[in-house]
Structure 1
């Protein structure tokens, strides 16, 4: 079966590696309506996901000819989900760059690994284990209900409204000047989330989403 399609019409994603991260990502992409070509060196893994994914192929992604045979250069998006084998991860990413793939996401197991992936041409690097560990650590604090790091050093948190913010408008609270953070949205009790403005008045039971430098939102979350 040929997987070669014009780049203009290609709405698919090439996922290399069907470990826990790669397989979970591939299944979610299919659920969102994407066509996924998943590649792995393990015939057992490929067979396991054959009925769940659009296309699955047994191939060695560190072999440029193998990548050409599956039409890797026809994809505008690719994910290198190889985790434990750093050399294979780096070489595969480099080959996809050479083949001209427009957007390459790559999984890293450490920040050092991530820096190398960026140096060889990965456009986006994710550290799922590190990011999840950091997120759980914040959630365990008790005050933070959700945590997302937008980029290194800048984060969003969801937290209950601290007592000192209740009953006054955000402009009167002075939290931006004191903490260097911004309340970007609010969920009043019994209502959905909406945008926050400087005139927004918070009450007990309200949930807020706060954006700012990670150290600042962490300090803000410590308010009782």
Structure 2
């Protein structure tokens, strides 16, 4: 199905949790037309006046997605993270509907692998990726200038790691070596 180039600045965001809502609001600030879909009435009502369109729907229902016109979008983001089944089924439906650019949020690498297999073109692991970014900003690895708010490499080396001569304690559920 041919998509209208005039609608290329439209995006469907499915799931309005922390990730999906932050993404949708930022895309609005950047001038995108955002259609957001979530199953929670209260969540949709909370964002209805700040987004182009907000709809209450089950994102795993193909008929609901068709009625909302999601199949006509060139871009979609699945922001569902905690409900793995809904995340995977929604991503699969978007692929079946022929959405050409599907981004999906994963909560771990296995989830990411499944999302790619069912049709996601791009998968993000926000907590993992943010952890890596913060590691680059951690004390001893960089410094932030209060006047410019830019991050630059630190001129002082990281403190040396203290090495312990004590072995790691055995977890309480682990079998003891004395009984072997």
TM-score (normalised: structure 2): 0.77
Cα offsets for 1:36-73 (capped at 9, x unmatched): 00000001000000110000000011011111000011
Report the 3-state secondary structure (helix = DSSP H, G, I; strand = E; otherwise coil) of the residue aligned with 2:44.
Answer: helix
**How far 1:159 moved relative to its partner?**
3.5
**How far 1:162 moved relative to its partner?**
5.5
Runs of at least 5 residues in structure 1 that lack an aligned partner in the other structure: 1-5, 147-157, 164-220
Q: Is the 8 A contact 1:7 1:75 kept in 2?
A: no
Q: Is the 8 A contact 2:104 2:115 kept in 1?
A: yes
> Residue 65 of structure 2: which of 64, 67, 83 is its match?
67
Distance 1:35 1:145 in 2: 37
**How far 1:161 moved relative to its partner?**
7.4
1:7 counterpart residue number: 4
Distance 1:119 1:73 in 2: 20
Report the 3-state secondary structure (helix = DSSP H, G, I; strand = E; otherwise coil) of the residue aligned with 1:15.
Answer: strand
Runs of at least 5 residues in structure 2 that lack an aligned partner in the other structure: 145-150, 159-180
Give the paired residue count: 151
TM-score (normalised: structure 1): 0.63
**How far 1:130 moved relative to its partner?**
1.3
Q: Is the 8 A contact 1:143 1:159 kept in 2?
A: no
1:138 counterpart residue number: 136
Go from structure 1 to structure 2 and tell me whether the alpha carbon gap of 1:31 and 1:124 turns closer, same or farther (over 3 Å shift): same
After superposing on structure 2, the runs of 4+ consecutive aligned residues of structure 1 that deviate more than 3 Å are 158-163
Over aligned residues, Cα RMSD in angstroms? 2.2
Go from structure 1 to structure 2 and tell me whether the alpha carbon gap of 1:45 and 1:161 turns closer, same or farther (over 3 Å shift): closer
